[in-house]
Amino acid sequence: MTGAINGRARMLKALRFEQPDRPPHFEAMFELEQEAFGLRFPDRNSWAGMNAQDKDRAIARCMEIYARIIERFHWDALAVFWPWSDPDGVAAAVKAFGRDILIGGMAGGGVWAIEAVSDWEQFAIDLIENPAKVHAAAEAKCATTLRTIDRLVDAGADFVYMPNDVAFNAGPFISPRQFAEFVAPYWARQIEHVKERGAVAFIHTDGQIMPILDQLIALGADCLQSIDPMAGVDIAQVKRRAHGKLALMGNVQCSLLQDGPKEAIRGSAEYCLRHGSPGGGYVFSTSNTVFPGMPLANYEYMLEVFGEFNRAQGGAQGASR
């Protein structure tokens, strides 16, 4: 997997807002392993009940699948998504892939976000009438995630990927003022801790982020994914505001990758590359993940377009290089 410029170097160069030989590429998750390789990741609900021997076998299966993904699709980084938030998975990935690619781990659930709310009516009431309760829960989430970050970095993670969906397609899940009070300070602490530990901080949210974009930039993260076009987020506009401060990842529209047609996939991919890649600070990927039900051929076509762009720009050679 080692080349003249390896994936790790390519990722780090892009994240420093330097122009790499080509934009780096990976996905937060790839769940078409059956379609691509005839293999299955262990069931996501099975990890908690595994004994040590079973877990070792399950992690080995994950590494086998990750190796095939990295080789076939020329990924420059891997965020270990199975097992989730588990330092044993990160350590296994570091052992399997060395330092030719950037290795990361998942640390979600660290702030109030859409997936953290079970009773929306009570949450809305508490925001106004009992803010101390909301802050106390936010503090607990943050403390748990700080411990997860330490375990992942201790296991060798180069980066920590922090997914927290804080926006719907129509806008942030709470007002920008409330976001500044109840979310941003806690997320900023986690990002600061990742960077203090010498790792790179990735953050993720879907949705219409423009009303809170300046706050997201100010968090201090190294890279933001997903730059959601289905929510009307324009990567060209985000790049103008974020360049030099926050790198971007994503924006190839997942609904088009789900349903096509190819011409629309091409248009989305080319738009992302044309507006995202100049001056570094961009990682090419889908606007979310490669999820079950997405036709594998559509993801492969996205990478064909990527390869054409890179060859036209004089970048590296290959299907996605």
Reported as type and span, the H/E element at residue 71 is: helix 52-73
240-261 mean pLDDT: 98
Span 54-97, pLDDT tens digits: 999 999 999 999 999 999 999 999 999 999 999 999 999 999 99
Half-sphere exposure of 286 (CA within 13 A, CB side): 22
Span 87-143, pLDDT tens digits: 999 999 999 998 899 999 999 999 999 999 999 999 999 999 999 999 999 999 999
Radius of gyration, CA atoms only, the chain: 19
Q: Is beta strand 167-168 parallel, antiparallel or unpaired with respect to 171-172?
A: antiparallel
The pTM assigned to this predicted structure is 0.95
Rounded-to-integer distance, Cα 203 and Cα 216, Å? 9
212-224 mean pLDDT: 98
Reported as type and span, the H/E element at residue 73 is: helix 52-73
Span 144-171, pLDDT tens digits: 999 999 999 999 999 999 999 999 999 9
Domains (range + CATH), the chain: 7-312 (3.20.20.210)
User: Cα angle at 126 between 125 and 132, to 5 degrees?
Assistant: 160
pLDDT at 320 > cutoff 80: no
- Token look-up 């409330």 returns 178
User: How far does the chain reach from its first CA to its final CA, in angstroms?
Assistant: 13
Nearest to 235 by CA among 23, 75, 79: 23
Rounded-to-integer distance, Cα 270 and Cα 272, Å? 5
Confidence of residue 321 (pLDDT cuts 50, 70, 90): very low
Rounded-to-integer distance, Cα 140 and Cα 145, Å? 9
